[in-house]
Structure 1
Amino acid sequence: MSQNLKRLVKAGVSIWLDDISRERLRSGNLAVLMRERQVTGVTSNPTIFAAALSKGDAYRDQIRDLAVRGIGPEEAARAITTYDIRWAADVLRPVYDATQGIDGRVSIEVDPRLARNPEATIAEARMLWWTIDRPNLLIKIPATQEGLSAITQAISEGISVNVTLIFSLERYRQVIDAWMTGLERAAAAGYNLAAIDSVASFFVSRVDTEIDRRLEQIGTPEALELRGKAAVANARLAYHAFEEAMNSPRWQALRAAGARPQRPLWASTGVKNPAYPDTLYVEQLVTAGVVNTMPEKTLEAVASHGKISGDTIRPFYQHAWDVMASLKEAGIDYDDVVRVLEEEGVAKFEASWTELLETIEAELRKAA
């Protein structure tokens, strides 16, 4: 077992795997990662499912049965993905029980084409919650402006939520408000708040990708010196916002009623620029009470040569503010950056979902 990963967990970071596939479940690989790599949760998204469907024959029998029944690609997609999520939830259930529901979680996303439609989003969230029917499930709802009301509604109905595609600090504060409002409504409706879980998925590497591109266009020595610094600074300030929320009288009242914190989750932590250390977004975002969801490549990099040296968030708030101020001075429009990233994020997941449907449709035709 990797000592680096043990140190990461000891520092208070929950390690979740940013991947799922029928083959990983069928082979027992997820259970191995739980045992040998400290993995205590799983996240999924349309891109991950599209990749899983394109490899091997693990889905062949189910697709054949769906084809025989005359099921269309959209309903087939839900049958296939919910099957995997239910299986993963069962594999992780011992972790969920051992941690009293803190970890052992599995996430599935609502249809990304609904990201701007709150009524359709909450309808799909309910369907996924009922269909999978596992207490350690999290429903992923994108943190678009329109998605905020769906987040509140889902939480108010006792549905545990992974709020995804968060890029901006302002939107993150809105997410916290939406979550707390949902808990307040759930309490008023008589739900057990301790049974409602939530994480807030703050995307990391994509921030550097977009801001680095703009810094290189500016091209001054001062601008180029800031490459690779924005994403970590942004995430650190998100944790600062989380701490502020946890110190508020509003949260203290919810905690007294049995609620659990909405943990920050670092998503998109695979390094996209090969010039940066492949463990960058793990080593620089360590503190107690957070989740880091990693692709397997990043997980193995940390296991092999990660350097975990205590809290790398809370002592560096001022440095993070300084980085953000320097970016503004260099000509980076932060509000435009996060707007572009949110729009691109929704579009990419929509494209992956379309690719998934097209793959399933082709396989159904072949099986028929």
Structure 2
Amino acid sequence: MANTLQQLAETGVAIWLDDLSRAQIQSGQLARMVEQGGVVGITTNPTIFAKAIGSGSGYEEQIRDLALRGTAVGETVRLLTAWDVRAACEILRSTASRTAGRDGRVSIEVDPRIAQDPARTATGVKDKAYDDTRYVIDLAAPDTVNTMPAATLDAVANHGRPRGDAIAGTYDAAREVFRDLLQVGIDVDDVVDLLEKQGLAAFAKSWDELIASVTSQLEKAGAEVSASGSVAPIDHDGHTHPTAQASASPT
């Protein structure tokens, strides 16, 4: 595993994990991926957190505490995700120190209502006809960041065949492909614009799913959640009490 990923690192590829969960942190799995697997950064997104929090694994105690306090849904989202990101930063602290801050970073996507141009991508293949390491091996180049879902990271470590800088010397051929596409009526600018719009719509949908996931977990903890996102605090016996808290937005 280390050999393949080390080759990518020597080419100049910064390997980022496109995944994060409380279970990964508490089990030591994330620390092992950093120490042994060459991961130097982490990306997160609402879909990742919705899945992790929806599983309930590792979040129960904090959610119960927030339900006791009557913490609004939006603020609960912020506190849950910030805990995970802060813990991940701590795991990557030595990486950041070793590289003088070049690596060792964790990204977090925020509420799309306050975000500026949210956009992200990861390198897992969507077309199953493609080799599952294609968007890693074929995009390897100096001074690049490659964000990989855990399955792609495992695939690269298991059977990836790095060949160094795969981009150098390909620019003229790439420009020719763009010219050929234009000749058959495919405008790359239009494609990029469409993909960006679809990506932004998907991001907003993912945020809604995260809100729904957190709401469900608060309700499982015994809290009453209003349509506005406010939460009636519960006591230690599981009884709810009225609250004036109304804001569902993180501050």
TM-score scaled by structure 1?
Answer: 0.59
Paired AA for residue 77 in structure 1: V
Structure 2 CA distance, aligned partners of 1:276 and 1:57?
Answer: 33
**Alignment counterpart, residue 296 of structure 1, candidates 144, 147, 150:** 150
Conserved 8 A contact 2:15-2:145: yes
Counterparts in 2 of 1:56 and 1:361: CA distance versus 1, 3 Å: closer
Match of 2:186 in 1: 332
Match of 1:65 in 2: 65
Structure 2 CA distance, aligned partners of 1:333 and 1:51?
Answer: 36
Paired AA for residue 30 in structure 2: L
Match of 2:88 in 1: 88
Q: How does 1:162-241 map to 2 (within 5 A)?
A: 164-165=119-120
Structure 1 CA distance, aligned partners of 2:186 and 2:113?
Answer: 30
The Cα shift of 1:333 comes to 2.4
Q: Deviations over 1:300-340 (max 9, x none)?
A: 11111111111111210011111111111122122221111
Q: Which runs of 5+ in 1 are unaligned?
A: 116-120, 122-140, 143-163, 166-266
The Cα shift of 1:344 comes to 1.0
Match of 2:130 in 1: 276
Q: CA RMSD in A?
A: 1.3
Matched, 1:17 2:2: no
Match of 2:102 in 1: 102
Q: Which runs of 5+ in 2 are unaligned?
A: 223-251
Find the structure with the greater CA-based Rg: 2
Q: Deviations over 1:9-58 (max 9, x none)?
A: 11111111011001100111111111221111111011111111122421
The Cα shift of 1:103 comes to 0.4
Counterparts in 2 of 1:29 and 1:87: CA distance versus 1, 3 Å: same
Conserved 8 A contact 1:72-1:361: no
Which structure's relative contact order is higher, taking Cα pairs within 8 Å and 6+ residues apart? 2
Structure (1 or 2) with the greater helix fraction? 1
Q: Deviations over 1:217-268 (max 9, x none)?
A: xxxxxxxxxxxxxxxxxxxxxxxxxxxxxxxxxxxxxxxxxxxxxxxxxx32
Paired AA for residue 28 in structure 1: G
Structure 1 CA distance, aligned partners of 2:9 and 2:73?
Answer: 40
Paired AA for residue 98 in structure 1: R
The Cα shift of 1:114 comes to 3.3
Conserved 8 A contact 1:2-1:304: no
Structure 2 CA distance, aligned partners of 1:75 and 1:56?
Answer: 18
Q: Deviations over 1:330-355 (max 9, x none)?
A: 22122221111111111111111111
Matched, 1:362 2:224: no
Identity within the alignment, %? 49
Match of 1:287 in 2: 141
The Cα shift of 1:63 comes to 0.6
Conserved 8 A contact 1:13-1:287: yes
Number of matched pairs: 222
Conserved 8 A contact 2:54-2:213: yes
Greater than 6 Å deviation, 4+ residue runs: none
Counterparts in 2 of 1:66 and 1:59: CA distance versus 1, 3 Å: same
